[in-house]
Each structure stands twice: as C-alpha cells, then as structure tokens.
Amino acid sequence: MKTLLTTQELHLRMQERVLVHSLDLNVRAGEVWAVIGPNGAGKSTLLRTLAGLRDVDGGEVSLDGKPLSRYFPKTLARRRGFLPQAVTDAFSLTVWDAVASARYPHLSFWHWGDEDDEPTREALATFELDALADRDITTLSGGERQRVNIAAIFAQDVDVLLLDEPLSSLDLHQQMRVLQELERTAVRDERAVIYSVHDINLAIRHATHAILLDGNGTALAGPMLDVVTGDNLSAAFRHPIHGVDIDGERFFRAGRLTNSKP
C-alpha cells in the first residue's frame, strides 16, 4: 500500500518539556493508528503537528514525501482532515451546514456551494444524522455534536484522517459505528486513519498500529501488538498494566493502586 504520512526524527516540545524526542513514522494507506498515552503526554500536540496545524520543534512531517510546511493550506485541506478535541460553536448553525462547511477546500473561490451536496448527504447518512440535519447544532447533546464533526471529516473527503479523541462522549453503539466507519474507510477507500483514544482495549481491536507516548520523550510506534505490551504500557503509564487472554482475545487490565477493596 502507498505511503501517505511520514515523520523523520520528529521532535515535539511544550515550553521546556520534551514530549517526543525522535519519532520516525511511516503511515500507509489502509492502516489505522491509535495514539495512546497518559494525560498530558502530548497526544493532541502530536496529532495537531501531524495535521500541520502546529510547527514541528525539530524533524519533519511529510505527506506524499513533501513537507507539510510547503503545502498551501487549502491544498493540504484537500488531503488531510483533523477533528479537534472540542469544537465550540459560538453561533447557531444547522447540522447540515456544519457538515457542508467541510466542503470548503473543494470549492473554488467563486463557488457558492449550492450544488455540492452529495458528500454532505452521504456523511450524514453514514452517521445516522439525517433526522438531525435541520437541527441547531448548539442544541444537540455532546455526543451528537461529536458525530456531526466526525461526519464533517468524512464529507471533507481526505486521504489522511486525524481525530483527537473521536470516541469521547459517544455511547457504546456510536463508538462501534465510528470505529467501524474509520476501519472501513481505511481499507475500502485506501486512506490512513490516526486517532487518539484512552481505552486500550478498544485500540487493540480497532487499530492496526499504535503510537505509545510516555510524556518524557519516548514514543514507540509500530504494529499494534509489538507496541502495546504489558511492559510498555506499564512503563508509559507508570502503573502496573497486565495483558490477559480471554477466549483468545487479548485484554489489558490496570492493577489496583492498593490492595484495599471497597
């Protein structure tokens, strides 16, 4: 499969703290990457950097072999989409318009956008949002808003999808639907998906690769089961985490902090 997103010796710093010391990444079409790590380890910073919304602190991020900094913003927006952790809408707008706004990079300067409604319709249908199309987005629940914004990335029609905690505030059914759609689009449409997630057991089932950050500069990246091991997780989270096999499936459990049971 074609290589889409690569990093060479990527270095990320937040003030004086080194979040990622040197990360070499090679993300190919069809792959689904999960970004895992403790709070404040730099998951969002890494995703924003991979999306080109933040300058690198060393090294390089490239899409199709060309550094992100050399892309025009609008050209880049036709290739990669990014879901921020939180989208706060200051003004009312309909769900339809929120999703349709993601078509912006595909419209020419003078194009009003009247006729370009097929991608929006499809994205709304994919995430069971048809009935909400005319609702005011500021009156929706947090989970519904989240789905609207995920649908917008699908309407944006990009090769690399970067999502910062897409599953937060979704119910179990919607979590599964979103994960299924992400995996499906990766394989069927030959795209690459990178998302951050806190639930390791979801990650190992719904991603092919993983990036494990520990917040002190170490970033492990590679195929899921090479990276996500009990030892690596315990070291990154500074907490005992053990893998167990149940019915042939691997699960990870965090150990209790004390022996006192409630």
Partner 1 sequence: MRHGDTPRRIPRNATFASAQRLWIVMLVVAGVVGAACLLCGGGEIRATEAWTALWTDTETPARTIVHELRLPRTVAAFGVGGLLAMAGCLMQVLVRNPLADPYTLGLSGGAAVGALGAMLAGLGSVFVAMGAGIGALITCIAVFMLAHRDLLSRQTSGQRDDTTDLILIGVVLAAGSGAIVSMMLVLAPDRDLRGMLFWMMGDLSGVAWWGVPAICLLACLFVVVPLGRQLNLLTRGEDSASALGVKPGAVKAAIFALSSIATAIAVTTAGTIGFVGLVVPHALRRLVGNDQRVLIPASAIGGGTLVVVADTLSRSIVAPIQLPVGAVMAIIGVPAFLMLLVRRR
What is the contact surface with partner 1 in residues (CB under 8 A)? 48, 51, 53-55, 72-78, 80-82, 84, 87-94, 96-98, 100-102, 104-105, 107, 109, 112-114, 134-136, 139, 141, 149, 156
Closer to partner 1 at the Cβ: 114 or 245?
114
Tell me whether residue 51 or residue 178 sits nearer to partner 1 (CB atom). 51
Q: DSSP for 16-77, please give it.
A: TEEEEEEEEEEEETT-EEEEE-STTSSHHHHHHHHTTSS--SSSEEEETTEEGGGS-HHHHH
Question: Which residue lies nearer to partner 1 by CB, 39 or 258?
Answer: 39
**Structure token digits, residue 215:** 């917040």
To the nearest whole angstrom, how small is the minimum distance from the Cβ of residue 176 to partner 1? 24
**Computed from CA positions of residues 114, 116, 118, 120, in that sequence, does the dihedral angle turn out positive or negative?**
negative
Cβ atoms of 219 and 45 within 8 Å: the answer is no
Min dist CB 26 to partner 1, Å, is 23
When the beta carbons of 60 and 199 are compared against partner 1, the nearer one is 60
Please report, for residues 28, 50, 175, 225, the alpha-carbon distance to residue 47 in angstroms, rounded to integers and kept in the order given: 16, 5, 20, 21
Backbone φ and ψ for 132, nearest 5 degrees, come out as -95, 0
- Count, in order, helices (H) and strands (E) of the chain: 9, 12
CB nearer to partner 1: pick between 98 and 212: 98
* Minimum distance from residue 217 beta carbon to partner 1 (Å): 20
Closest separation in Å from C-beta 186 to partner 1: 19
* Shortest distance (Å) from residue 109 CB to partner 1: 7
